[in-house]
Amino acid sequence: MLKMLSKEKSKSYDDAMSSALTIANFLTVLRLILIPVFVTALYYQRFSWALAVFLVAAVTDGLDGLVARSFNQKTQLGAILDPMADKLLLVTAFVILSLPRFTLTDPIPFWLTAVVISRDAIIVLGAAVINMTTGFSQFRPSIPGKLNTLVQIVMIVFFLVANAFGLLAEYLPVAYYTTLAMAVFSGLHYIAHINRLMSEDQEHDRR
């Protein structure tokens, strides 16, 4: 009896590990590993290296989702790690590049960093409160939310290019205000998006 239980436990553990150890999850973990490498490059003002690392991390952001969908590698671990890796990478970039110590050009305006981080914090806290009070957990990403992430990535790339090669600096103010507008719009849209999802869930429960 004990041997059977032990074998079943071992089998379930092996199944869980095999389902977690996917190419998509590996790419997500790689993105997390690249964050301290990115910060180190910025600390020593190796902006070309920082740009290369950030671009590789950004590419893995698109690849992990593509691989997960194409090869049926969607896992619960990946659903948690992927958005966490995205937010950690972008929040780290905004915070570090808002400090004059780490940039050659003027740093990213603090008001922009505050808006970007506040948007994400409000959404996460709001989702947590909704989940605790109603039990609703179907928080799917929205298209404006994905566009917001893309706009932030492009803005960081522009900023790093300006510091590494002295190019695109004249476009930074436009990039800043575009990022601000997209953060505000996508945040407001996500509130409406969640409200719609909750309404659909309630209608489904009534049927």
Q: What pLDDT sits at residue 72?
A: 64
Q: Return the higher-pLDDT residue of 14 and 161.
A: 161
Mean pLDDT for the chain overall:
80
Q: How far is CA 200 from CA 81, 128, 138, 188, in A?
A: 27, 19, 11, 19
Residue-wise pLDDT for 45-92, tens only, equals: 999 999 999 999 988 877 766 666 665 656 665 567 777 888 889 999
Count of CB atoms within 10 A of residue 125's CB? Answer: 10
Confidence of residue 27 (pLDDT cuts 50, 70, 90): confident
Average pLDDT over residues 157-161: 95
Tokens of 51: 């740009």
Q: Return the higher-pLDDT residue of 64 and 3.
A: 64
Average pLDDT over residues 120-147: 76
Q: Are 23 and 67 in contact (CB under 8 A)?
A: yes
Sorted by sequence, the CB contacts under 8 Å of residue 68 that are 6+ apart come out as 22, 24, 74, 75, 78
Q: How far is CA 154 from CA 5, 45, 117, in A?
A: 52, 20, 17
Please, where are the H alpha helices in 44-109?
47-70, 76-97
Closest CA relative to residue 68, chosen from 78, 58, 59, 60: 78
The angle that helices 76-97 and 110-134 make with each other, rounded to 10 degrees, is: 150
Residue in the structure block whose two tokens are 């290369």: 52
